Amino acid sequence: MKYIIYCRKSTESDDRQILSIDSQESTLLDLARKNGYEIFQTFKESKSAKKPGRPVFNEMMSFMEKTKDEYCILTWNLDRLARNSFDGGNIIWFMDQRFITEIMTCDKVFKNNADDKMMMNMVFGFAKKYVDDLSKNVKRGNKTKMEKGGWPGFAPYGYLNDKANKTILVDEERAGYVKRCFELFSSGRFSLKDVTKIMEEEGMRSRGGCKVSKSNIQNILTNSFYYGFMHKGDNYYQGNHEPLISKKTFDDVHEVLNRRSRFKKEKHFFHLRGLFTCAVCGCSLTASKKKGHDYYYCTNGKRVCSEHKNYLRSEVLDSLIIPFFDKINIDEEIIEIAYESVKEEKRLQGANNVETKEILVKQLEGVKRKQEVLLDSFVSQTTPKDIYASKMTKLNGEEIYIKQRLSSLELEKNKEAIIDDKIRDFLLNTKKLKDDYLNSNEIKKNTIANRLLWNLSVSGQKVLNYKAKEPFNVLLNGPKICDTVSLLRW
């Protein structure tokens, strides 16, 4: 009879209390010396035994079957050999075939007889039950944590695990990159490949310092965690973590991803395309490259335009945008007036928020009643599983949206203390936009221009009409002081 040693250390957290492989081997070698056994071969691996497929274990079994000698296996405990029914059954079968004569552990010897094999079956069965119970308990614990708004796993990119408090915190170093990904892709002007390239150029890197791949960007864009909605299996939960984006932004990205028409890759990027229209016919200006310069011209889609042969260089259109930056520069006195106006607006809004909260609470109660009715119909097998899943997903989405609105109302109560900083930061940053625009690359210029304006109607080299985006429309169109609360929408 030949003696072999098998040592196994699971790589999973539930098995950390088990002796290390070196400790197991040392203990088994001492056992062999005490009994005068000469070890023929040693097999060691770090692999969970809860399912079949361990390479070293399979190598050991093949070795014994191929040589057809009689072997005694020394192992620290029977559960080192198997924690699943398949491998446990194989061990018993090899004993029936006399490939394995006996199995020796630190406290018992199992011989090739009916009583010992029955005992081994029981030990393997208990080991299997331990794995099953452990899996069930872990899933139950994770479900309970998520129901309370916690996340049981590793924090997604843009967040950090606070191990001390067992919560999820915003990663200030990387959260901005996540927001930027959603901003770029939701515009509909960039493909996943484009967003990946832009983010690489802007310095986005993984936690390990590597470049972030296109598939990772797609995972970020499809992860509802970023607007506070946790998804696990068929279940949905409201998270306690701080959202990085709004649900509307996530829905905009989802819509872009699910467009039926395939994204048409632009051969050249023109930073002002889609921003200007022709004042004569209303068609958009398109662009082309000629002799190293960008030229914009009317598409003449209606076949009636007399301006479509007039070409404007991008430098000319840039000069038409620059005056708008000058218009949004305001002095410190007006900043103070805006601040006082916002404080008064907030006082008036307080009463309206109370009424809005009552309406939202009633809506939330209605959604919960619908969820209960739907669940009862599913349990009673009145509603098919696919219809139940679809409707429950929709109701869960409504619940998340209402809860987010209620949370935003609660935040409004505490906003008064930081209104001064928010308004000042916004207004002071508008003073920098002109320099940022003049000194940025085309992609950054595109972002700034589209943040400020849209639908600029031009004829010749003059802007005849335009529309300003919020909150800049408040500054460009001469706001009343009582309307300055709109600045908070930034």
Per-domain boundaries in the chain: 2-143, 167-257, 276-329+426-489, 347-416
Nearest CA to 3 out of 53, 38, 27 is that of 38
Q: What pLDDT is recorded for position 64?
A: 92
Predicted pLDDT of residue 490: 42
State the angle between helix axes of 85-96 and 114-147 in degrees (0 to 180), rounded to the nearest 10: 170
* Backbone φ and ψ of 39, nearest 5°: -75, 125
- Sign, CA torsion 94/96/98/102: positive
Residues 243 and 154: their CA atoms lie apart, in Å, by 16
Task: Record the tokens describing residue 129, joined without a space.
Answer: 């039950």
Question: What are the residues facing 73 on neighbouring strands?
Answer: 4, 103
**In whole angstroms, what is the distance from residue 436 CA to residue 440 CA?**
6
- For tokens 């840039």, the residue is 318
Task: Give me 350's structure tokens.
Answer: 């307080």
* Contacts of residue 175, Cβ cutoff 8 Å, sequence gap at least 6: 158, 159, 244
DSSP assignments along 68-115, one per residue: ---EEEE-S-HHHH-SSHHHHHHHHHHHHTTSEEEEE-SS-EEESSHH
455: nearest Cα among 443, 464, 446, 447: 464
Nearest alpha carbon to residue 430 among 456, 466, 463, 468: 468
Q: In Å, how far from its chain's centre is CA 452?
A: 29
Strand partners, 290: 293
159 HSE (CA, 13 A, CB side): 25
| The two three-digit tokens of residue 158, written as one number | 């843009």
CB 157 within 8 A of CB 199: no
**What are the beta bridge partners of residue 74?**
5, 104
| Distance separating alpha carbons of residues 469 and 488, to the nearest angstrom | 13
Report the predicted TM-score, pTM, of the whole model to 2 decimal places: 0.46
CATH, range 2-143? 3.40.50.1390
Closest CA to 226 of 186, 262, 190: 186
What was the pLDDT predicted at 266? 59
**Rounded to 5 degrees, what are φ and ψ at 207?**
-60, -25
- pLDDT value, residue 414: 55
Detail the DSSP E strand segments found in 171-217.
none
- 167-257 — its CATH code? 3.90.1750.20
Q: Evaluate the omega torsion of the peptide bond into residue 243 and state whether it is cis, within 30 degrees of 0.
A: no
Backbone torsions φ then ψ of 74, nearest 5 degrees: -100, 120
Edge-to-edge strand order for the sheet containing 276-278? 276-278, 453-459, 462-468
Question: What does the pLDDT read at residue 477?
Answer: 65
Per-residue pLDDT of the chain (490 residues; tens, 9 = 90+): 899 999 998 765 444 445 588 888 998 999 999 999 999 999 999 888 888 989 999 999 999 999 888 999 999 889 889 988 899 999 999 999 999 999 999 889 999 999 999 999 888 888 888 877 777 777 777 777 888 888 888 899 999 998 888 889 999 999 999 999 999 888 887 888 889 999 998 899 998 888 999 999 999 999 989 998 888 777 778 888 999 999 889 988 888 887 644 555 556 788 888 889 998 888 888 888 888 889 999 988 888 888 878 889 989 999 998 888 887 766 666 666 766 776 676 666 666 777 788 888 899 999 999 989 888 888 888 888 888 888 888 888 888 888 888 877 776 665 554 555 666 677 767 777 888 888 888 888 888 888 888 888 998 888 888 888 877 777 776 544 344 444 444 4
Q: What is the C-alpha separation between 304 and 319, in angstroms, rounded?
A: 28
Distance CA 371, CA 395 (A): 7
Residue with tokens 């589209």: 450
Beta strands in 299-433 (DSSP E): 312-313
